[in-house]
Amino acid sequence: MPINRRLYSLVIRLAVPVLLVRLLWRSRRHSGYRSEIWRRLGIYGRHRPPRSGERVWIHAVSVGETLAIAPIVQRLLAERPDLTVLLTSTTPTGAEQVKQKFGSRVEWCWAPFDTPGAARRFLMHWQPALGVLVETEIWPNLLTHAAARGVPMVLLNARLSERSARRYARVAGLTRQTLGHLGRVAAQTESDASRLRSLGAADEAVIVTGSLKFALDRNALREANEQERLQFGTSAFDRPVWLAASTHPGEEEPVLEAFARLKAEHGNALLMLAPRHPDRVPGILGMPAMRQYQVVRHSAYLRSEGDTDDAGEGATGASLTHQDDVLVVDTLGHLGALTGCADAVFVGGSLIPHGGHNPLEAAAWCLPIISGPHTFNFSGIYRDLLEANAALEVEAGTLATAVLDCLGGQADTEQITAMGERAGAYQSAQEGVVERQWAVLAAHLP
């Protein structure tokens, strides 16, 4: 049966109680999920947003999208101080990233559920002059009500995997109507642009600009890396260091198995383990495979000296020595700098069908990159890296072999260094994307 917006809205309304229960369930691990939960329904009580210039609303669902759009937000704040910038998030980690990067320079709120009432109340309350969605945030009611209020909408850094395109094609009529409300779409790749056009985005509205995730400030990364090294001590990383970045449930087990193989060859090797969601750290620390290791948590280094009471089971205090085996990265905003302390990087979300995460920070540091086969969120980037012999693709059972190929006693150092340099060259060749996407946004600013 064809699904129109009326039927979609009915389904979303019926799903709201389930969505609220899901948020409360998730709040067991992260209290942020229940914070101001009514605002997800577009209910703001007596809150009145300050009037200090026309408002540009930017929706970045979580951490990755917030980091990607950050250069555009920074430029918007610098070049158009007459405008007010409102950022919305869906996850607490995304909200924390907004507050960490921009503080009081921007307004922030939870994004509303995509019911007609919540979307309408959100737009009436904040009254944006322009709306900007990031990556794959295509919401029928928000876009429809924005169009009804005369609010132009732009989709920046747009991507649409083949898998997502097939799902949207099942509701082709609704998708075509929704995409028709977008005034401009800045697609990451030609493939993304083609899929968006085929689903209903206007041909003349879609342009290819490249991915904002290429937009890395290498100087800022180097400065932050120097601070991390000073914090830990200059010799803390003078040993084989493997980073497992943005891991998900089901990935820590093969990571720890691979690390055990590496430790058998290099007894002083260090694993930096950075779960995608830091609220999972207590469970990771309790894993049987972790109990054999001396573990420290990155958060211990950010607290005042001696304040380590809540470092967590299985963790030591705030010193990192060659006797420590695992550094658990349980903080946000530091992974890019810490990546520069590694000798090889596994990018998580790829051994399971999550779609992978951004490998470009590792590329910027000219490091060999290892991923699983499930990289559909960044399919073009991983395809290019593999074709350039700048990355390795493995299954869970062959992860250890790849790690040993990069860091083991028999590793071909010259070949592995060349692999990292090819990754760095690929990342450098994509410069200019911020300028191209800024031009798209600037053309629509009030």
- Could you give the domains of the chain? 5-9+27-215+432-442 (3.40.50.11720), 228-301+311-428 (3.40.50.2000)
Angle among Cα 69, 76, 111 to the nearest 5 degrees reads 50
The CA-atom distances, in angstroms, between 437 and each of 188, 204, 270 are 10, 16, 39
Is pLDDT of 314 > 60? no
* Residue 303 banded pLDDT, cuts 50, 70, 90: low
Helices 413-428 and 379-387, axial angle in degrees (round to 10): 130
* Residue 309 banded pLDDT, cuts 50, 70, 90: very low
Does residue 65 have an active-site annotation?
Answer: yes
Count other C-beta atoms under 10 Å from residue 388's C-beta. Answer: 13
Question: For residues 72 and 58, what is the distance between their CA atoms, to the nearest angstrom?
Answer: 10
In the block, which residue shows the tokens 């085929």? 198
Higher-confidence residue of 233 and 238: namely: 238
**Length of the chain as a residue count:** 446
Question: For residues 431 and 362, what is the distance between their CA atoms, to the nearest angstrom?
Answer: 16
Residue-wise pLDDT for 105-155, tens only, equals: 999 999 999 999 999 999 999 999 999 999 988 999 999 999 999 999 999
Question: For residues 100 and 106, what is the distance between their CA atoms, to the nearest angstrom?
Answer: 11
**Residue 334: both structure tokens together:** 């530091």
Find the range with the poorest average confidence among 274-283, 401-410, 427-436.
Answer: 427-436
Strands annotated E in 384-430:
391-393
Closest CA to 246 of 183, 170, 121, 332: 332
- What is the C-alpha R_g of the chain? 22
Query: What pLDDT shows up at residue 429?
Result: 84
Is pLDDT of 312 > 50? no
What's the average model confidence in pLDDT over 233-261?
A: 96
Query: What pLDDT shows up at residue 217?
Result: 82
Please provide the average confidence, as pLDDT, over all residues in the chain. 92
Question: For residues 271 and 275, what is the distance between their CA atoms, to the nearest angstrom?
Answer: 12
Is pLDDT of 318 > 80? no
Residue-wise pLDDT for 31-90, tens only, equals: 888 888 999 999 998 888 877 789 999 999 999 899 999 999 999 999 999 999 999 999
pTM of the entire structure? Answer: 0.75
**Phi, psi (rounded to 5 degrees) for 263:** -65, -30
Query: What pLDDT shows up at residue 316?
Result: 44
Find the range with the poorest average confidence among 42-51, 136-145, 336-345, 365-374.
Answer: 42-51
Question: For residues 385 and 9, what is the distance between their CA atoms, to the nearest angstrom?
Answer: 41
Question: For residues 301 and 423, what is the distance between their CA atoms, to the nearest angstrom?
Answer: 30
Encoded amino acid at 275, one letter: P
Query: What pLDDT shows up at residue 2?
Result: 60
**Residue 121: both structure tokens together:** 């109340």
Please tell me which residue in 65, 96, 137, 228 is annotated as part of the active site: 65
Higher-confidence residue of 318 and 175: namely: 175
Residue-wise pLDDT for 166-225, tens only, equals: 999 999 999 999 999 999 999 999 999 999 999 999 999 999 999 998 888 888 899 999
- How would you classify the pairing of strands 182-187 and 153-158? parallel
